[in-house]
Each structure stands twice: as C-alpha cells, then as structure tokens.
Amino acid sequence: MFHKEGTKIIFFTLAIVVLLSLVVNHFVGNSLVRGGLILTLVVFLILILQFFRNPRRKFLTSTEQVLSPVDGKVVVIEEVFEKEYFKDKRLQISVFMSPLNVHVTRYPVGGEIVYSKYHPGKYLVAWHPKSSEENERTTVVVKSDQFGDVLHRQIAGALAKRIVNYAEEGAVAEQTADSGFIKFGSRVDVYLPVGTKVNVTLNQKVKGGITVLAEK
C-alpha cells in the first residue's frame, strides 16, 4: 500500500524507468552493461516505492499516551525553550527519519487543532542543532485532554524538498491519523510539558502510531 502523496511520483518514475529500459535495451550492445543499467533502474524504482509505502497497522490509541508521529530513530530527549508557540520550557523528543523509513506523519495525540503554521526556510541536515528553527518546517499544536497542548513539528532535511501538512486550525485530530508527509528524509520534533514520563531512550528505533513516546 502506498501513500497518496507518492501517486504522481511513482507513476512518473515508472514511466521513466520503462522508457529508459527500452532505450538501453535497444542501443546498448554489451549484454553485461545492458543488464547492469536496467538493474540500476529497477533498484531506483524499488527505492521510490519503498519511500512512499504506507503499511497497514493496527493502532491502539490512548488519551494517556503520546505516540511517535513517525518511524525512525530517537535523536533528542531534552528540556529546551520553545520559541514559537509556548515561549517557555518544554520537553523535546525528536525522531530522525532516513530515506528508507516510512514518512507518513501521524498525530501523536488526539484533540482540537489549535495552531498550524508553515515556515519556509533552509535545508540543513536534519540533525543540525539549528534545523528546528532555520529549516523549512510546519508547526502543529493539538490540545489534548491529558497533556494539554502538544506540539509536533515537521522539519525538512538536506534531501527533503517538500513538506505536506494536513492540519487545519479548529479541526479535530484523531490520534494516529495522517497529519502530513515529508518527502525524502527529515525529522519530527514533539514538545511536551516538562516532567512528562518518557518511555523511549536515545537511539531507540520507533514506529509511527505504535511506539509510546511518553505517558501520564
């Protein structure tokens, strides 16, 4: 199963791969070179399919838990001063996604969407300390019953050239539902109240909508 954001790219890539394969097959006489080129094109297509996959999962939602918004690896767990929305100290948990991870962004909690904003910016590597403030990004805040306002921020990386955000202020977010998509590598930060019990450790691999980042 593939995400809707990949439909055009997948069809375009498939058409290019088929066309180039026909050209290679017609014009390249050396069978070894011809086979290598066609294999390279097939591998490229597989990588594109891998990136836009959207596997079916059985989600267990809970108002007592904050779920990981994306697949990837936990790279930050620390108290920081959040400048955009809270303007005070928050507990930040950041998940870095490689190009091979599933890139669907899911709501970590359910509730009313009280803030949603897009920021154009740079394309620093996603683990750069200033990427949260200087890279292209979107900030979404959901008011939950148990945790209050929970902010998650999609951040573009060096390869990510487009962030898709579905969150609309005033709408109701369902925990684990699609919040957006980041194309080709990135990271997502989650900001929680200081003192929230953290359930993950640095460098732990997590799954979007499955892994519990924190709980009451």
Q: Please tell me whether residues 102 and 159 are part of one structural domain.
A: yes
Q: Does the pLDDT of residue 158 top 90, yes or no?
A: no
Residue 44: what are its φ and ψ, rounded to 5°? Answer: -60, -45
> Are residues 168 and 116 part of one domain?
yes
pLDDT at 4: 83
Instruction: Average the pLDDT over 44-59 and give the result.
Output: 85
* pLDDT, position 142: 98
Domain containing residue 172: CATH number: 2.70.70
Contact 180, 163 (CB under 8 A): yes
Q: What amino acid positions are annotated as catalytic residues?
A: 186
Domain count, the chain: 2
75 and 42 within one domain? no
Contacts for 60 with CB less than 8 Å, ≥ 6 apart: none
Q: How far from 74 is each of 21, 98, 135, 201, 211, CA to CA, in Å?
A: 40, 12, 19, 7, 11
Distance CA 148, CA 142 (A): 8
The percentage of residues in the chain with a pLDDT greater than 90, rounded to a whole number, is 64
Q: Are residues 110 and 206 in the same domain?
A: yes
One domain for residues 150 and 192: yes
Q: Is 72 helix (H, G, I), strand (E, B) or coil?
A: strand
pLDDT at residue 52 in the model: 82
Q: Enter the tokens of residue 114.
A: 């009280």
| Structure-block tokens of residue 46 | 């597989």
Mean pLDDT throughout 33-55?
88
User: Cα(179)–Cα(5) distance, rounded to whole angstroms?
Assistant: 12
75 shares a domain with 122: yes
| Phi, psi for residue 140 in degrees, rounded to 5 | -130, 135
Q: Are residues 42 and 71 in the same domain?
A: no
- Same domain for 47 and 82: no
Whether 59 is in a domain gets the answer: no
Q: Is residue 57 in a domain?
A: no
Q: Could you tell me if 133 and 40 lie in one domain?
A: no
In a domain, 9, yes or no: yes
Greater confidence, 108 or 125?
108
* pLDDT at site 131: 56
The pTM score is 0.84
Same domain, residue pair 127 and 182: yes
Q: Which residue has the higher pLDDT, 106 or 51?
A: 106
Boundaries of domain holding 33: 4-51
The mean pLDDT value for 141-148 works out to 97
pLDDT greater than 80 at residue 191: yes
pLDDT at 107: 98
Distance CA 47, CA 49 (A): 5
Residue range 172-189: average pLDDT? 89
Do 46 and 73 lie in one domain? The reply is no
Average pLDDT, stretch 167-185? 91
Q: Is residue 80 part of a domain?
A: yes
Which residues are CB-contacts of 13 (< 8 A; sequence separation ≥ 6)?
A: 44, 45, 48
Q: How does pLDDT run across 80-103, given as a tens digit for each residue?
A: 999 999 999 999 999 998 878 888
Residue-level pLDDT at 122: 66
Residues 16 and 111 in one domain: no
**CA 115 vs CA 33, 64, 107, 137, 153: distances in Å:** 54, 22, 13, 14, 11
52 vs 67: CA distance, rounded Å: 21
Average pLDDT, whole number, for the chain? 89
With respect to residue 208, please indicate whether it lies within any of the assigned structural domains: yes
